[in-house]
Amino acid sequence: MKFKISLIILTILFISIFAVSAGAQSDWEAVSGFNITNVTLDTYNDTIDRFNGYVDTGLSGSIPTSYFTEFENIDRVPLLYLGAKRPINEDWDLNIRYEYIFGEVEQNYSVGADSYDNSIAVGLHGLTLLGDYSINDNWYASGGVGYHWGTKDTKLNGPVYDTIGPLSDSFDAGEQEYDLENGVSLRAGIGYDREFAENWTFNGKIDYLYIELEDEGQGNIYSKGFSYTAGLSYNF
């Protein structure tokens, strides 16, 4: 775990230094922004539905659950990015950035006077390399590839999950951490740039994003969907 934290810190530091040092040279831009990505995490959502069913029925009545709030299905996730961009000729720009994708769903239920709070949280880090092709002064087409890694943290407490035990082939009861590794993403889309102040540019973009990764607990996970971005860039 300490190695992973060190790798994350070094990655962020590398991108930050790269963006700042790049800014000292002509034509470099520092870029950052926020993104909402639609996802199709069927494997996760099937598991979430199954866990909601276990609690809702009290494992077919053997556990008298009362107050109950469900895990929500995961249909979209936020993404933050930081990086640097540079033209390589009059038509093409090269864009390298660090990304952080994150999300959490929560569940609560009661058995008698006791209440149990549960959650499933994902934190995914990535390095992406993008090529942007200029269509005109404002519009551009974009595509690229990324590599991702991170963790999935689960908190599944209370008598329902203690009873599930070997019924679950995806999670263990209690508080657990699972590695997410060897993630590869592909994306293609179209964006719009518009300068709104000296050296400052607003960027809006829509991509179609495909990603797959290895989940230590559940095997290969696949997702695809449209990704919507709003960001800023500063031209040094």
- Per-residue confidence at 11, pLDDT binned at 50, 70, 90? low
Higher per-residue pLDDT: 225 or 164: 225
Residue-wise pLDDT for 32-79, tens only, equals: 999 999 999 999 999 999 899 989 988 778 888 888 999 999 999 999
Looking at the structure of the chain, the number of domains it has is: 1
Q: What residue numbers bound the domain in which 80 lies? A: 2-235
Higher per-residue pLDDT: 155 or 22: 155
Alpha helices in 62-191 (DSSP H): 159-164
Residues in the chain: 236
Candidates 67, 45, 74; CA nearest to 114 is 67
Contact 195, 201 (CB under 8 A): yes
Beta carbons within 10 angstroms of residue 169's beta carbon: 8
233 pLDDT above the threshold of 60: yes
CB-based burial label for 11 (10 Å; 0-12, 13-18, 19+):
middle
Structure-token pair, residue 107: 């569940």
92 pLDDT above the threshold of 60: yes
Structure-token pair, residue 141: 């087409």
Contact 137, 113 (CB under 8 A): no
What is the rounded average pLDDT for all residues in the chain?
87
Domain CATH for 114:
2.40.160.20
Contact 123, 102 (CB under 8 A): yes
Q: Residue 28: what pLDDT?
A: 82
Rounded alpha-carbon distances, angstroms, from residue 73 to 23, 49, 50: 41, 8, 11
